[in-house]
Structure 1
Amino acid sequence: MSPTFESAAEPSASAAMRVVNTVLGLTSTKRHYNSLDWMRAQYLRRAYPSPAPLTRALRRLCTVEELEVDGVRTLTLRPRSASSGRHLIYTHGGTYINELARPHWWIIAALIRATGATVTVPLYRLAPEHSFRETYDYLAAVYRLVLTTTRADDVILAGDSAGGGLAVGQALHFAALGLPQPGHLILFSPWLDVTGTNPAIQQYDRVDPMLAVPGAVEAGKWWAAGEDPKHHLLSPVFALPGALAELPPITLYQGSRDICMADALAFDRVMSDAGCTIAFKRYPGAFHVFVGLPWLRESRAVFADIRQTMPAPKTAER
């Protein structure tokens, strides 16, 4: 059976969601992702980008510690009050080629309010200048550093889009290294297959107001740097069942107007077949990484769900 999706006019989508879908459809983002000439001209000759600065609201909410891990800038945000003892590692999206943007800070702030967690933000190096292999080495170093202060059970790996794929990839990589598994994964519209070969994608591509398959696949090739795009650290949907079975519980939040929905459905199936715990929560009419606008009704529902469903921490930070 072909997967189903809802249109932006679906009554269960909020009015604000429908408006945002319309506005996004008027921007040039999707057109750019449909043009490989534009992608190559924009990214292969660029000056390396900088991440968006922290918002004032986040600085009021948290203390900020900045350090270098393996030579890469890494930020840790600690709530000034009501800390829960959890530690969340958040990897941002951007098809592995774009830096952390202002909406990512909004997501992180909402997660801190929902969980009381300390959040470490690894500003991993991007393609096409860098590749996935050096990033996974760096992320393992970040994880080891977090484990010096926090039990693995109290660590949450989270991310959006490409960063959601990285969250799954990290858990697979950490298991292969013999490191203890984190307690939970939170995935927002994760990009779980860089190959773009799922035949169901085209149905979502037609209604996605932001992304298109050709540019995403090109970005995935840059990130892979010659490796098979079906490698499990690039496309976790192709991981072996035995590796998937080692993953901690996963909560996946996905909108229906998003090309990533096809692979989220496939990932849900392979996870269930492997006997894993996954809660797959779908939002009709929602665009890619809709939680980046935390004021939307659907986004508020996501963060309320996280607040209610995350297990209590085992211990406070050491």
Structure 2
Amino acid sequence: MSRVRRRWLLAAGLLGVTLVGRAARTRPSVQMRLAKVFLRLTRRESELDAYRARPYPRAAPVKPSLREFCDVRERQVQGRPVYDLTPKHGASDWHFIYTHGGGYTGALVSAHWDVVESLVRLTGASVTVPLYPLTPEHTYEAAYSLLEAVYRDLLSRTPAEKIVLCGDSAGGALALGQAIHARDTALPSPGRVVLFAPWLDLALSDPEIEKVEPRDVMLRADRLRVKGRWWAGNADRTGPLLSPMYADLRGLPPIDVFHGTDDLLIVDARTFHRQALRVGADVRLYETPGGFHVFMGAPWIPEARDVYRQIARNLEVPLEART
């Protein structure tokens, strides 16, 4: 690569320009626009006080379509359910640990299994899905204790360079937090981190978020801030395991961040990207025009399929062999 091209790439990153493949879309698909209309019309939110008195939420069951082409094993780690899914045919040597989103308060839902299914189909990877403890019943310490145990167990049977830490929204912060924790505790580093619309600053302190929020059909910043306080407990919300945007990003594996531009969390993702480039971290931000929060959970949307194809390319998995 020429010196001029290297300088252009660095400047583009520092200015917040997203560098994507040649097939990147410049405007939202019809399916994306229709999905956003549906989400805006059907958005319902529980009162925050109701979380304190709720029965603990149950996760959605593994989808039958996943069981058709994956061997599924459920086990207990620290008293929490952990699912291991392995393709019955055509498995690659990659293994994802996937942490679901839900504002740290919501259980895994059917759309999260759609994400898992898309990852398996497009990459041939096995996937481990830990159902980490939620807030307000728990705080972040219990989650990280579980996730470290799951990671150590996987390291005992899988090369670290073939492990991908992956998650969406709150689960995206957990995936990145695990990579930071592994580095800081001298655990072997995973091969890659893949983040879908990660929640990088628990306090959502950037005033630019207010400009994007009217376009967001799913999230409200004020509600997220309350849930963030529950999750942190008495800890400093700017700590690296709670708000990875404030972490030292040096010495981390390659990080791929996928985001929609109509998601209020995009503001912090762009800041994170610029900060990463300044310290020489290997972070790529892929922005999808008009994309809503974690649109990757709607695999019938063309932009979602684009995301999974990009992940397969980044992992150097032959797409021709994937459905």
Shorter-chain TM-score above 0.5: yes
Q: Alpha-carbon deviations, 1:75-120, whole Å to 9, x = none?
A: 1001001111111100000010000000000000000011111100
1:309 to 302, 306, 314: 314
Instruction: Please say if 1:15 is aligned against 2:15.
Output: no
In 2: Cα distance, 1:292 partner to 1:102 partner: 9
In 2: Cα distance, 1:2 partner to 1:151 partner: 36
* TM-aligned CA deviation for residue 2 of structure 1: 11
In 1: Cα distance, 2:120 partner to 2:134 partner: 25
> Does the Cα contact within 8 Å between 2:15 and 2:274 map onto a contact in 1?
no
Instruction: Please say if 1:274 is aligned against 2:282.
Output: no
In 2: Cα distance, 1:309 partner to 1:181 partner: 18
In 1: Cα distance, 2:77 partner to 2:225 partner: 29
Q: Which amino acid aligns with 1:66?
A: E
Unmatched runs of 5 consecutive residues or more in structure 2: 1-13, 18-24, 319-323
Give the structure 2 partner of residue 284 of structure 1: 289
CA gap 1:60/1:149 in 2 versus in 1, 3 angstroms: same
> Does the Cα contact within 8 Å between 2:16 and 2:274 map onto a contact in 1?
no
Q: Alpha-carbon deviations, 1:145-176, whole Å to 9, x = none?
A: 00111000000000100011101000011112
> TM-score, normalised to structure 2's length?
0.89
* TM-aligned CA deviation for residue 16 of structure 1: 1.1
Instruction: Please say if 1:28 is aligned against 2:30.
Output: no
After the TM superposition, which segments of 4 or more aligned residues of structure 1 sit over 3 Å from their partners?
A: 1-4
- Aligned pairs, number: 298
Q: Secondary structure at the match of 1:26?
A: helix
Instruction: Please say if 1:39 is aligned against 2:48.
Output: yes
Give the structure 2 partner of residue 112 of structure 1: 120
> Does the Cα contact within 8 Å between 1:76 and 1:121 map onto a contact in 2?
yes
CA gap 1:77/1:235 in 2 versus in 1, 3 angstroms: same
2:218 to 199, 202, 210: 210
In 1: Cα distance, 2:196 partner to 2:298 partner: 12
In 2: Cα distance, 1:165 partner to 1:199 partner: 20
Instruction: Please say if 1:193 is aligned against 2:198.
Output: no
Give the structure 1 partner of residue 3 of structure 2: none
CA gap 1:2/1:302 in 2 versus in 1, 3 angstroms: closer
Instruction: Please say if 1:158 is aligned against 2:140.
Output: no
* TM-aligned CA deviation for residue 312 of structure 1: 6.1
* TM-aligned CA deviation for residue 3 of structure 1: 8.2
Q: Which amino acid aligns with 1:22?
A: V
Q: Secondary structure at the match of 2:251?
A: coil
> Does the Cα contact within 8 Å between 2:123 and 2:317 map onto a contact in 1?
no
> TM-score, normalised to structure 1's length?
0.90
Identity %: 41
CA gap 1:2/1:82 in 2 versus in 1, 3 angstroms: closer
Q: Alpha-carbon deviations, 1:1-46, whole Å to 9, x = none?
A: 9989xxxxx97100111111111111234xx38xxxx112x21110
**Aligned-residue RMSD, C-alpha:** 1.9
In 2: Cα distance, 1:247 partner to 1:201 partner: 27
Map 1:57-68 to 2 at 5 A. 57-68=65-76
1:260 to 265, 274, 282: 265
